[in-house]
Amino acid sequence: MSGINRPLSQMRKLETKEAVFRARKRILKYLVLGFLKQEGLMNTADVLVTEGSLTNEYELCDNIDLDIILQDYCSYYLIRFNKQPQFCRKVEEPIRRPQTRRVKPETVAPLPEPEQQNPDLPSSFTITKLLQDSPENIEHKIPAIERKPLKAFLSSLSSDKRHLVEILYQDIIIPSEVYWEDVKGLNTAKNLLMESVVYPVRYPEVFTGLLEPWRGVLLHGPPGTGKTMLARAVAAESGCTFFNVTCSTVINKWRGESEKIVKVLFEMAAYYSPSIVFIDEVETLASQRSTSGEHEASRRLKSQLLTELDGISQRDGIVFLLANSNMPWEIDTAMLRRLEKRICIPLPDAKTRAELFQGYIGKNIELVPKVDFQELAIKTEGYSGSDIKMVCKEALMASVRKMLPSMGRSASNRKDKLCLSDILTAIERTKPVAKNLEKRHVEWQNEMGSC
């Protein structure tokens, strides 16, 4: 009986392998068919249905397509081998095959049987250098916007929310080349943002329990002091997904649509975590709710925003709110409670103003005679960083005005050259915008600040 059972078991194994092989071929055909229809190649899809004998008996699942499978494989390959896989290569010269006459089948010599190979190993492989970092660390180095496909997130949403995701996806900003050293001064704000955003992303095992990351930071101060530049530096240093939220993004004329946009925004931020939701001029979205004449739609939008920041439902991942404001005294008290760290970004001091002058006109511009930047810093007391930039621009424009009548076609060969008198004249013509606002921000910081 044992001799009879052995062939039966072998036949069952062969039948199982054959069934798995047929199922794999069928899945590949339907994946290719779905991709062709998605790309609009309907004629090619019809030919595949005819030649592949495909029927309506099977269809692809909702959350599966060829693009998602390819992205997942690329992520796996990158984590394992620390490089992107190559699927196609360019053929330099077409291979011309010699014309051979057709031979009858019975005269064709049998081909040699291939050597027995291990099916678990590829026919060829590349030996790569072993990485010292673990796969988890390698995965964290890849931005979440590149690791996670958007289609996987869309598959879990209803049809009315999918178009909102496409709108919010356009507000994701790739961090620009702005780093801490590009922001002059503001060491207190830099240290606070490092411990609020950068360190929790790099060392998540430390910031657990009561030491969970801060939920939000408010940067307030006079206009032109570098608040938005700090936000850009945080996005570049942390590697987080950066959502730049504006009023035009979340405010909609249809009833209930603004609240839905805010809800989808934070769901999307949790999916692409660690994320930074940046709201510039936050007082426009979260002003005091006790003001008279407030519209019901504005109140509902604020309530939804407060709920998403500190609601009952818990989400995985780090979602950090970074808000800027020139008038923090108009922000609602409940929003200030969510913004756990509130720090004032003051006007630059004399040392910082000298560094700003040196950065704008001290590198690529010839100064005649040699300019003392400390002297310029003393003369620009009360100027913001934006005001100093305008001074340098006005001084450079004054030297260009002298050359404009006789410049002609040699404008491309001009060399920027500044005189001290041009800079002093530009300081007299350019008045500081926010000199009188710093005192009010300092008073509000002493009363409501937290740094």
Q: For the segment 145-161, what is each residue's pLDDT rounded down to a tens digit?
A: 777 777 778 777 777 78
CA angle 353, 229, 332 (to 5 degrees): 110
Tell me the one-letter amino acid at 176.
S
Give the residues across from 161 on adjacent strands.
none
Q: DSSP states of 90-116 as a string? A: --SS---PPP-----GGGSPPPPPPPP
How many residues make up the chain in this entry?
451
Spatial contact of 308 and 250, defined as CB atoms under 8 Å apart: no
Please state the domain extents for the chain. 21-81, 150-344, 350-407+414-448
Please tell me the predicted confidence (pLDDT) of residue 8: 64
CATH class (in words) of the domain with range 150-344: alpha beta
pTM of the model: 0.63
Q: Given 3-state DSSP classes, what are the helix, strand and coil percentages for the chain, each rounded to the nearest 5?
A: 55, 10, 40
How many Å apart are CA 300 and CA 45, to the nearest integer? 48
**Alpha-carbon dihedral 182, 139, 243, 204, rounded to 10 degrees:** -80
Distance CA 102, CA 92 (A): 29
Q: In the numeric block, which tokens belong to residue 7? A: 């062939």
- Quick one: DSSP state of residue 214? P
Q: Where are the beta strands (DSSP E) in 195-314?
A: 216-220, 241-245, 275-279
| Residue that has been written with the tokens 């407060």 in this structure | 306
Could you tell me which CATH class the domain 350-407+414-448 is placed in? Answer: mainly alpha
pLDDT of residue 136: 45
Calculate the CA 33 to chain-centre distance. 32
End-to-end CA distance of the chain: 83
Tens of pLDDT along the chain (451 residues) come to: 545 555 666 667 666 777 777 788 888 888 888 888 877 788 888 888 888 888 878 877 766 778 778 877 777 777 766 677 877 877 666 545 444 444 444 444 444 454 444 445 444 444 344 334 444 444 445 667 777 777 778 777 777 788 888 788 877 877 667 788 888 888 888 888 888 888 888 888 888 888 888 888 899 999 988 888 888 888 888 878 888 888 888 887 777 788 888 888 888 888 888 888 998 888 888 888 766 667 777 888 888 888 888 755 566 778 888 999 999 998 888 888 888 889 899 898 888 988 888 888 877 777 777 888 888 888 888 898 889 999 988 888 887 787 776 666 555 555 667 788 888 888 888 888 888 888 899 899 998 877 7
Q: How far is CA 106 from CA 94, 110, 111, in A?
A: 32, 10, 13
- Tell me the chain's radius of gyration from C-alpha atoms: 32
The answer to whether 328 and 445 have CB atoms below 8 angstroms apart is no
Answer whether 150-344 and 350-407+414-448 agree in fold.
no
Which pLDDT score, from 0 to 100, does residue 50 have? 84
Pull the structure tokens for residue 239: 């590697």
3-state secondary structure 156-182: CCCHHHHHHHHHHHCCEECCCCCCHHH
Per the structure block, which two tokens stand in for 108?
């064709």
> What is d(CA 330, CA 325) in angstroms, rounded to the nearest whole number?
9
